Structure 1
Amino acid sequence: MHKLFFHGQTLHLLPSGALYWPARKTLTVSDLHLGKSERLARRGGSLLPPYETQATLEKLDRDLEATGAETVICLGDSFDDLAAADGIEEASRLWLVRLMAGKDWTWITGNHDPGPIDLGGTHRAELKALPFTFRHIAEPQERAEISGHYHPKASLAGQSRPCFLADAARLILPAYGTYTGGLRSKDASLVTLMAKDALAILTGPRVLAIPMPR
């Protein structure tokens, strides 16, 4: 875990790619892309192992248990498309409903899942929980912003790992879902968005903060 002091609050950046805000007992995850293997198969794309939704839900279950979070914010692209939300297997649907039970759960809309889903919770374009604004895609002029969308990755010693990106204005979460791919931190869209002193906090067994590779 990496502790990040951001706009007066201490945030825990977890090895899984989740963000935990202890003062608010809030767990935030981004880009779960549940149902990605089903969506690719439906559209005739490359096939992925069919257990990606289960693997993502297992990870989420562990993080909720470990943190005791009472509030959950999903930062968009929680489903790979709206049909994937409707077509989720019944066992996975029941598992997700169980995870949501008793929690204040917010679904932020993303570019893959731009409409409400029939699973309960609250649906918002963005969520303000002072001092932060939670949204799917970062807006360049914003401050105290927490977002996702880009699936950032960074390399260390030749190994690429999903990472958080952080500077004084914003925090971008890695994709939480299994088999979601990623965008290198050296990509022009991220280099332009993030300040020169931005950090990349690599996820995995050893959470490590390094200067954002450019």
Structure 2
Amino acid sequence: MPIERNMNFCDFQLSGETLRILSTGALWWPAEATLVVSDLHLCKSERVARRSGQMLPPYETRDTLARLDSDVLATKPARVICLGDSFDDDAAREGLGDAETLWISRMQAGREWVWIAGNHDPAPVDLGGTAKSELLAGPLTFRHIATPEQGEISGHYHPKARLALGGKMVSRPCCLHDGRHAILPAYGTYTGGLDWTSPALASLLAPGACAILTGRQPCAVPVPQRARA
């Protein structure tokens, strides 16, 4: 399925469109100058502290925004789509500081910005951009949770691959695609991952599914057969 590989990205096709997975896990749609990220889970440390009292280093929001800013600067998109769970829960938006709010506003300037609603959070309506439950753009549909629909790009599952690579075991977030739809990895800093062999993902993938591993050198590998059983 992938048609091009580079040290910093790996391409694949979906519904006749060439799509590019960047090293960060973002998706770039060159023909539409569209950058797509999923599961930012901003303000997760604030949510964990609020609910459990456990203190995590409160830097994950800035780290996530810094990587997103870098991808925006590199691609100069006309449109950015955030595929849901942009905040860690429906109250986490209140934990976003003024500096981070201004940072997001600066990234939004001069381009279309779409917040897709997730299962953790509603799409924010007071942070600039447009809030939607899903977005249809050309032959592609963008939503948070995968369905059997053809030409769909979603997130939610935080897929992660664990395999032997270069003589050692590695674990990397990955994009899964099977010619019908693509499931993006979580972009946020404090996000776990669902193993690519899990039954939940197996039920969504067609035979011949492929995973694009993120990292310094994104690469495409077949999804193990047991993940499609």
Provide the TM-score with structure 2 as the length reference: 0.90
Counterpart code for 1:91: A
Provide the TM-score with structure 1 as the length reference: 0.96
Q: Is the 8 A contact 1:27 1:71 kept in 2?
A: yes
1:24 pairs, out of 28, 32, 40, with 32
3-state secondary structure, aligned to 1:177: coil
Q: Is the 8 A contact 1:152 1:173 kept in 2?
A: yes
Matched residue, 1:155: 162
Q: Is the 8 A contact 2:115 2:123 kept in 1?
A: no
Instruction: Tell me how large the CA RMSD over aligned residues is.
Output: 1.1
TM-superposed deviation, 1:115:
4.7
Q: Is the 8 A contact 1:163 1:203 kept in 2?
A: yes
Q: Is the 8 A contact 2:83 2:115 kept in 1?
A: yes
- Deviation string 1:103-135 (CA, Å, 9 cap, x unpaired) is 100000001112533101111110000100000
Work out the CA distance in 2 between the residues paired with 1:27 and 1:116. 18
- Deviation string 1:136-169 (CA, Å, 9 cap, x unpaired) is 00012x1000000000000121211000000011
Work out the CA distance in 1 between the residues paired with 2:123 and 2:36. 19
Matched residue, 2:223: 212
Work out the CA distance in 2 between the residues paired with 1:46 and 1:169. 41
Work out the CA distance in 2 between the residues paired with 1:74 and 1:180. 15
Identity, in percent, stands at 59
Task: Answer with 146-155 or 83-92: which moved more.
Answer: 83-92
TM-superposed deviation, 1:196:
2.0
- Match status 1:94 vs 2:102: yes
Work out the CA distance in 2 between the residues paired with 1:206 and 1:5. 19
2:84 pairs, out of 49, 55, 76, with 76
Structure 2 unmatched runs, 5+: 1-8
Counterpart code for 1:74: C
Q: Is the 8 A contact 1:134 1:145 kept in 2?
A: yes
Q: Is the 8 A contact 1:82 1:115 kept in 2?
A: no
Task: Answer with 110-119 or 172-181: which moved more.
Answer: 110-119
TM-superposed deviation, 1:42:
0.6
Counterpart code for 1:191: A
- Deviation string 1:9-63 (CA, Å, 9 cap, x unpaired) is 1111101000000111000000000000010001115432210000000000000
3-state secondary structure, aligned to 2:189: coil
